[in-house]
Structure 1
Amino acid sequence: MTTAVEVPATGGSGGRTAVAARAEALVKSYGSGETRVLALDEVSVDVEQGVFTAIMGPSGSGKSTLMHCLAGLDTVTSGRIWVGETEITGLKDKKLTRLRRDRIGFIFQAFNLLPTLNALENITLPMDIAGRKPEKEWLERVIATVGLADRLKHRPAQLSGGQQQRVAVARALAARPAIIFGDEPTGNLDSRAGAEVLGFLRRSVDDLGQTIVMVTHDPVAAAHADRIVFLADGRIVDEMRKPTADAVLDRMRGFDGQGRVS
């Protein structure tokens, strides 16, 4: 597990805080000239270690682009990104692939489970590919945290949607990554299953010390986070600590239909 670097907290009072990832003056644009689209416009943000952070904003605000850049899944036009002490902007493909494999976990809307493998095999698959043996005690703790002990021999087709996403959460946690990114991780689940998965993510922060960044459009999902960063027009426009669903909904009403702050 990587050690987080301590840097001045963005927008803070000069104190220092451990961060798992950091972005500085990120710009991401597509096209050129009159057709140029600015997806991120000078975005700077710290992802605090051991904190559940949600990224919210209207459609087209840049929230998924920001997450993909922070996770090393997309390149930036300019700016710098660090994961722990490692700057990932400018890393060669091979080194970036290794860093994503060893230090970053992912949870997506689509569960991305292999249908021919059982739950346990799906959980350990990334480590198996990397030639690493899972830490037995940690793996057992993760499985207990997400409540899968009695489903390990089941294949995905034998599991409900919520159970499949729990397998995906356990897979992301099992390698003890420095940070986990979730892109609408409950988007394909009903409200009850979604609440279960969000509860497991919350516990992974509280009980396992995990760092999580989640993109979501759902105020109820965002309320499980410790901190919400709001984007509009490719810029960070607000932040909320200890959110409630009602407070998030009120804030989201401040955006108009084109994704601008009203």
Structure 2
Amino acid sequence: MSTPRHTRNVSGPRPPSAHGAASYAAVATGLRKVYGEGETEVRALDDVSVGFRSGEFTAIMGPSGSGKSTLMHCMAGLDKISGGSVRLGDVELASLDDNGLTHLRRDRLGFIFQAFNLLPTLTALENITLPLDIAGRAADPEWLDKVVETVGLGHRLDHRPAQLSGGQQQRVACARALAGRPEIIFADEPTGNLDSHSGTEVLNFLRASVTEAGQTIVMVTHDAVAASYADRVLFLADGRIVDDMAEPTPDRVLERMRAFNRKPGEPAAAAVSVLPL
């Protein structure tokens, strides 16, 4: 992927709200996720505490098996946690039953994955508004126009997925995630199936949705260039957050990732807490 050309808020931390603290879309405290028992036990997440600020683009990186996707799935209510707490806005996920989690994911969250997951018989516009149609909610015309303008596919809205390039299909998937004005969007390797040019298109769109529309995005990625589009990068290793980088660049991210390739016998990096103050 080529060097990014994008505009990011580089003015430092966001100003305090009227209540004296930044607004957080999601917060995890002492989060643990364990698979298996006894000798087969695997701690995918080990006492993770982190807050994701509203209107900010956060990338999550780390070696394979470090817990990146597990953290995102637990924060989004897609996977049950083994311990600790996860809050989305004012809602504690552990207080919700399966039906409540389904409604929360449908009404307050957006999702973008490697696979575009577009319905081939629907037009781009129909794919964008599909979650709202299923929920029986009418789209906000002004907001939908803004999303369509940001995605840059106004002239392709009547085309079906097969008539769109991979990058255009993923931008439709991104617009679908935005259409319901979710409080936070979780993106799992959204450029993983795209070539360099298409990946840049999608990342520019995600960046614009944050800068121009105030969207909150949490993106798992293995790509240093993709991570540089974010306002901050969290680094995971062995199920723990070990670094929190502001104003990332591809070179800085790559340098940090190389530190994970430690020699056998060397101690693991110390965990850090990045909870809101």
The aligned residue for residue 239 of structure 1 is 244
Q: Deviations over 1:176-199 (max 9, x none)?
A: 000000000000000111011000
1:41 to partner: Cα distance: 0.1
1:193 matches 2:215? no
The aligned residue for residue 5 of structure 1 is none
1:104 matches 2:112? no
1:122 to partner: Cα distance: 0.2
The alpha-carbon distance between structure 1 residues 257 and 108, as it changes in their structure 2 partners (threshold 3 A), is farther
C-alpha contact 1:254 1:261 (8 A) present in aligned 2: no
Unaligned runs of 5+ in 1: 1-8, 10-14
The aligned residue for residue 273 of structure 2 is none
Q: TM-score, normalised by structure 2?
A: 0.88
The aligned residue for residue 127 of structure 1 is 132
Unaligned runs of 5+ in 2: 1-13, 15-19, 271-277
The aligned residue for residue 54 of structure 2 is 49
Of the three residues 121, 144, 148, the one matched with 1:116 is 121
The aligned residue for residue 17 of structure 1 is 22
Percent identical among aligned pairs is 67
1:16 to partner: Cα distance: 2.4
Residue identity in the other structure for 2:131: P
Runs of 4+ in 1 over 3 A off after TM superposition: 257-262
Higher relative contact order (CA 8 A, sep 6+): 2
Q: Secondary structure at the match of 1:101?
A: helix
1:89 to partner: Cα distance: 1.9
Residue identity in the other structure for 1:182: A
C-alpha contact 1:21 1:82 (8 A) present in aligned 2: yes
Q: What's the RMSD between the two structures over aligned residues?
A: 1.6
1:17 to partner: Cα distance: 1.5
Distance 2:168 2:212 in 1: 20
Aligned residues: 249
Distance 1:51 1:168 in 2: 20
More deviation, 251-260/189-198: 251-260
